[in-house]
Structure 1
Amino acid sequence: MKTTYQCLWVLGLLVACSPNSKVSQSTPLSDEPQYLLTVGNENVFAEEFMHMLSKNRAFDKEEDKLSKTEFEENFELFLNYKLKVKEAEALGMDESVEFQREFTAFKEDLKQPYILETSLQEGEIRKAYARMQEVVHAQHILLRFPANASREDSVAVYRMALKIKERASDGEAFTVLAMEYSQDPSVKSNKGDLGYFTSLQMVYPFEDAVYQLKPGQISDPVLTDFGYHVIKLLDRKPNPGQVKVSHILIRTDPADPLSEDRARRKITDIYAALQKEDTSWEEVCQLFSEDTNTKEKGGELPWFGVGAFLKEFEEAAFGLSEIGEISSPVKTSYGYHIIRLEDEKPLASYEEMEESLKSKILRDSRSGLINSQVMAIQKSRYQFRENTPVITAARTAISEQSKSLKDLRNTYTAQNLMDSTLFTIEEHGKTVADFVGFVERDEVVVKVGKRTPFDAWFGKFVETSLDQAEEADLLANNDDFRLLVNEYREGILLFNLMNERVWQRALTDTAGLKEYFASHRDQYTWGARTEALIVSVLAPEAAAPIKAFLTDKPYQPGLKTSLVDHLDSLSTLSYQVEEGVFEVENKPVLQEIEIQSGLQEVTVKNKRYIVLLGKQYPAGPKAFEETRGKVIQDYQEHLNETLISLLKQNFIIQVNEDEKARVENIVVGQH
């Protein structure tokens, strides 16, 4: 996407001659909108002009208002801008493939803050952050589905989960039930105890169920992709935030029966040594820790919060209360650890976590939930109605075994389905032919998965159609969005027109550029010039060696390098040197000396200069190559003025003076 397009050229044109400006959105423009001006056959309303003025200033206060001159300048710039957009449209620039691609991409970005999906995403982000204020401690029992489970299998698993819930509710030990029934592979080591965790650390249905329980409560069976869970909430407490710790690890080897005893004795000896005041944690860690990734840096681990590490390690780490405090040996599946607290911090603010929370939510099952909610709201809002018989006929016409939708058009044409309506949105029908065109354009990514190709593509067609209906609704009923989209659309057109008719033409039209230069030669002249080596003396000790080196030397190009080499024993901060051909009128130091060859010394504004002059050149015309950049700039402005003049002749312009006066009354102060 071209960042140049981000309306900077539009705003530059509109506010180049005025202070920053912003219109209060509460300012009523009109009870019945009247056009401000007409360009060609298009009426332009005051709200668009006000939108352009409203970028950085509110006109509620007298000191923020424009002068009459500034207002007229901005109005003229706005008129010129609309003329150029009209010309771009007349040239068909808005119909080009490149424009449509650019504009569509911009529009997709622009609508994100306004659409239902964003609103629902923000709701889920805020809910996740609110849940993060607490950590919860839960146990669970998982019942998995058998491979290729039938509906009857699923019902049987659900009924078993209900019975387990009843037994737990009647007082049977949850841990015993977990060891007997849970099919979670980790149950052998944790007995169904998941430890403390917080939002976004479990699959969403599981999290949602846990956060609705009170300590001691047992859930109804909860369905996730893993199976049915029965969950018991043990505790909930404020989130302690994050900690940074270091550790020393002595590993154990499950295959070696003696390693457990050796590791326990070794970690006990290390712990005893660390109790002595003269023992260095870093040295002990480097010598004895068996965590090769951290031992060379004092055993330091990254910041982590609840639910990120092994339960036993985490409980010990969060049990430390003072910086530098060392835990007693802690046993985990890796071996034995001694943990030292390095730092701690509370849960970050919502603003700090918003982007990371959004990223996590868009990667988990909440994303599908949000999409389902969006579609349900859209279907209700835009009166979505399916034509079930036609959808069934269209589905049936495609082979269930087909891996693609080849020959879709021929298949439906042969069965006279092309003109049949699949569904309606706000009474506007989408036909089978529309669906076929959607598939043939192949402009979207469709994941088939376990669905048939027809169902996958049809689902995407419905989703896209509803999104288009929401966008049309925004354009029709949301003034902010409509004005913003129009601003970007016209900004792209303006850029394309200016690039073609002004900017690039000035660069490529060599003949026109030189002709312009020839007819405006009097604008490109040199003042009186002189060759000069100018040395600014910044420290007193630099003056003598500088003068000594330059005395009796004539000016010649490259003398600066020789001087700097000669002064290599001096600090480079004790002087500054520049050399070249300078216009006298643009160099204050040259205006204070006699312009004649030779070495001179002068003080200007309390700064000492040593100057060696060379040849002098009288005032005269510049060669084309000497001023090419300025000529191109001026030629571009000339082409721009010519373009505006031509457009004012080609398009009929009418100004509604009453509406203009009303806008003026809002934004112009009593200067």
Structure 2
Amino acid sequence: MKNTIFLVFLMLSALTSAQKKEVIFTIDESPVYSDEFIRIYNKNIDLVQDESQKDVDEYLQLFIDYKLKIKQAEELGLDEDKNFLREFNGYKRQLAKNYLTDTNATEKLLNEAYNRSQQEVKAQHILVIVGDAASPEDTLKAYNQIVAYRKDALKNGFDAEMKKVNNGKTVYAEDLGYFSAFRMVYPFETVAYNTSVGEISQPVRTRFGYHIIKVLDKRQNRGELDVAHIMIASNAKDPADEQQHAKEKIDRVYAELLGGADFDAMAKNFSEDKASAQNGGRMSKISSGKTTSPIFEDTAFSLKNPGDISHPIKTKFGWHIIKLIKKYPLGTFDQEKRMLEMKIKDDSRSKYITESFIKKLKAEYDFSENEEGYSLALNAFDENLKTRNWTFDKGNDKYSIDLFTINNDEKVTAKEFLEWIEIRQRRFNNVVNVKDFVAESYQYFVQQKIMDYREAHLADQNAEYANILQEYRDGLLLFDLMEHQIWDKAKEDTVGLKKFYNAHKTDYKWKKRGTVSVASCSSKEIAEKVAAKLKNGVAIDAIKESFNSEEKINVMFSEGIMEIDNDNLPENYTLTEGVSSVYEKNTNEFLVVAAKEIKEPAIKKLDEVKGRVISDYQKYLEDEWMSNLRKGHAIEVNKKVLKKVKRNVGK
């Protein structure tokens, strides 16, 4: 028994030791842990240009400097500055959105959407209108009505039932043509894709009401097209002579196109679709179901090659000639993923991700509700909510009762929920049934509270989020600190800058220099001729005009003040006033140099080198500042842990 207890003790000790963070160094006894150092080192090592900094000991010194700067920023109160807090909190909210979602549910919807987008569904439907806010009685009536229509459709045929029940007011019966994912509301889409060809679906509820769907066909997705068109407006209500005139006009345009006329120009001159005419007839991308004309879509998709044009076709809008510009077949999952994510986010199906996430969080946080508190809250509401004039007795202690608890440490009271409703009631429209509306609002309130709790504790529960947030915070502080301590000071301290320049003048020297023109020539023969012209004082523009043509450039010039080691100058060239001999740079390039106003080495004036002096002064100020920072803080490196770190970095 004693041995067993001892073994368990050893196992627990080992587990505790493995989980305990190790301190790699301290600053004024404040610990910095090895896992952070290893993570930052491994993340940044490939970005380091200086090979010496890849050495762990060297990098550790840089990391210590980094932590000293952050400590200094906090001591100066920069982390409490209102501008810092506004930018940091804005980033924090944006970053948190990426972690307040159910990735598994999202991935499932992505795969579902991509798989559905491979197909197009052709369908008809009958819709009985009933809104989300309808009374239970009206909802049941609409449901029974659609069930009866389905029964009759199965008996007499869907087409016959569509003709019989469509009134364009409370009941709609429509041919929908072909559509793919995201063209219809999600519940409707789901049922359409899950219904076999030739079958009539069970009733499906959407925000519009109850539908039954008959699926007529399914085919492979045709992708998208870029097209342009020329349209001559005409509809069935126009007089016969106007319809004939429109037909003759489109035929003349078609004949001109067959004769080689430019499509863009013809569209601009003749198309009566003003939205596209001035753009050469070009439309936004089309796909099945995106326009209201199946014949237009079918004709466009029948064109084989970019540049092909259709014969004139008739739609309800008039006559069209279509030109294919480009085909866009459906991409791979990886190619389509980003676009699908955006569509899901903007689509009603996104609520399923939220619902799945909330369900998981409720289980993780041991979410519990108090039925007594909920009943008390529900009974506090009355018909005044319909007119948005509802209120309650805020001083009544009975509303302090718990409504629900999150993670055993956050209790939400009935009063909080009541106040939440009271504040927001001005936004409410069409409250039909108070109890149903409150029940729905309560679920949203619970969802919001759980999400708020998750966001508030996200850094404690998600290491990746915490690390990214910490790095952004530190980077923001570091920028503000450097601007405060170094950059602004170097720019604004003109006395200090001049003093630094005077102490380091010899670092800012002109080498031997002159006003130089370097001719780069395509052959030695041309270079010799260019040299002769330069000696005779011929202008550079005139020389280029003599030797260059639209077909070939034989000579190019580089001009300006150049120092002796300028890359444009030939090797072994000594900067001398006058025109040089010809230098062979390679078999296809020959150089000639014309130099004047030669000046010997000299100290550069401050105005001539101010940018470089400011940069050097900043480096000087930073070195001095860092030296003082290190002197002002006690730094202790744990050599034992450092030795372990050296074995683990890069892994």
TM-score w.r.t. structure 2 length? 0.77
Once residues 468 and 257 of structure 2 are traced to their aligned partners in structure 1, the CA distance between those partners, rounded to angstroms, is: 68
Once residues 630 and 315 of structure 1 are traced to their aligned partners in structure 2, the CA distance between those partners, rounded to angstroms, is: 63
Distance 1:370 1:534, change over 3 A: same
The alignment status of 1:491 with 2:472, answered yes or no, reads no
The corresponding residue for 1:603 is: 583
The alignment status of 1:333 with 2:313, answered yes or no, reads no
The alignment status of 1:503 with 2:475, answered yes or no, reads no
Tell me, yes or no, if the aligned pair for 2:129 and 2:170 is still in contact at 8 Å: no
The corresponding residue for 1:130 is: 115
Q: Give the counterpart letter for 2:466 in structure 1.
A: R
Q: Give the counterpart letter for 1:179 in structure 2.
A: K
The corresponding residue for 1:50 is: 38
Distance 1:383 1:184, change over 3 A: farther
Q: Give the counterpart letter for 1:35 in structure 2.
A: V
The corresponding residue for 1:100 is: 85
Distance 1:464 1:532, change over 3 A: same
The corresponding residue for 1:380 is: 363
Deviations 1:363-401 (A, max 9, x none): 332234443443343333323345566675599499747
The alignment status of 1:40 with 2:22, answered yes or no, reads no
Equivalent of 1:658 in 632, 640, 643: 640
Tell me, yes or no, if the aligned pair for 2:116 and 2:181 is still in contact at 8 Å: yes
Tell me, yes or no, if the aligned pair for 2:310 and 2:322 is still in contact at 8 Å: yes
The alignment status of 1:427 with 2:411, answered yes or no, reads no
Distance 1:319 1:653, change over 3 A: closer
Distance 1:141 1:106, change over 3 A: same
| Structure possessing the higher relative contact order (Cα contacts under 8 Å, 6 or more residues apart) | 1
Equivalent of 2:597 in 607, 614, 626: 614
Tell me, yes or no, if the aligned pair for 1:596 and 1:616 is still in contact at 8 Å: no
Once residues 626 and 340 of structure 1 are traced to their aligned partners in structure 2, the CA distance between those partners, rounded to angstroms, is: 60
The corresponding residue for 2:9 is: none
Where do 5+ consecutive residues of structure 1 fail to align? 1-28, 59-65, 554-559
Distance 1:394 1:501, change over 3 A: farther
Equivalent of 1:519 in 488, 491, 503: 503
The alignment status of 1:177 with 2:161, answered yes or no, reads yes
Q: Match of 2:609, SS?
A: helix
Once residues 376 and 668 of structure 1 are traced to their aligned partners in structure 2, the CA distance between those partners, rounded to angstroms, is: 39
Q: How many percent identity over aligned positions? A: 28
The alignment status of 1:635 with 2:617, answered yes or no, reads yes
Equivalent of 1:237 in 198, 202, 219: 219
Deviations 1:180-229 (A, max 9, x none): 123457999xx632222111111122111111211232222211222211
Once residues 531 and 622 of structure 1 are traced to their aligned partners in structure 2, the CA distance between those partners, rounded to angstroms, is: 14
The corresponding residue for 1:12 is: none
Q: Match of 1:137, SS?
A: strand
Equivalent of 1:366 in 326, 349, 356: 349
Once residues 573 and 329 of structure 1 are traced to their aligned partners in structure 2, the CA distance between those partners, rounded to angstroms, is: 54
Distance 1:506 1:534, change over 3 A: same
Deviates more, 1:38-47 or 1:171-180: 38-47
Structure 1 residue 101: deviation in Å? 2.0
Two-structure CA RMSD over aligned residues (Å): 4.9
Once residues 41 and 186 of structure 2 are traced to their aligned partners in structure 1, the CA distance between those partners, rounded to angstroms, is: 47
Q: Match of 2:619, SS?
A: helix
Equivalent of 1:167 in 152, 155, 164: 152
Structure 1 residue 73: deviation in Å? 1.6
The corresponding residue for 1:224 is: 206
Once residues 450 and 331 of structure 2 are traced to their aligned partners in structure 1, the CA distance between those partners, rounded to angstroms, is: 37
Once residues 372 and 96 of structure 1 are traced to their aligned partners in structure 2, the CA distance between those partners, rounded to angstroms, is: 38
Q: Give the counterpart letter for 1:167 in structure 2.
A: D
Tell me, yes or no, if the aligned pair for 2:125 and 2:176 is still in contact at 8 Å: yes
The corresponding residue for 1:578 is: 559
Deviations 1:627-658 (A, max 9, x none): 32222112211221122222222222221211
Structure 1 residue 313: deviation in Å? 0.7
Equivalent of 1:624 in 595, 599, 606: 606
Q: Match of 1:116, SS?
A: coil
Distance 1:431 1:144, change over 3 A: closer
Paired residues for 1:269-288 under 5 Å: 280=259
Once residues 322 and 567 of structure 1 are traced to their aligned partners in structure 2, the CA distance between those partners, rounded to angstroms, is: 50
Provide the aligned length of Structure 1 versus Structure 2: 612
Structure 1 residue 312: deviation in Å? 4.1
The corresponding residue for 1:21 is: none
The corresponding residue for 2:187 is: 205
Once residues 338 and 491 of structure 1 are traced to their aligned partners in structure 2, the CA distance between those partners, rounded to angstroms, is: 58
TM-score w.r.t. structure 1 length? 0.75
Tell me, yes or no, if the aligned pair for 2:128 and 2:171 is still in contact at 8 Å: no
Deviations 1:38-95 (A, max 9, x none): 223432222211211223679xxxxxxx889722221111111111112212222222
Q: Match of 2:453, SS?
A: helix
Q: Match of 1:55, SS?
A: helix
Paired residues for 1:82-481 under 5 Å: 82-117=67-102, 120-145=105-130, 149-169=134-154, 171-184=155-168, 192-243=174-225, 252-256=234-238, 258=240, 262=244, 280=259, 291-292=272-273, 303-310=285-292, 312-313=294-295, 316-317=298-299, 320=302, 323=305, 332-335=315-318, 344-386=327-369, 396=380, 400=385, 412=394, 414-415=395-396, 421=402, 423-430=404-411, 448=428, 462-471=446-455, 474-481=458-465
Distance 1:629 1:456, change over 3 A: farther
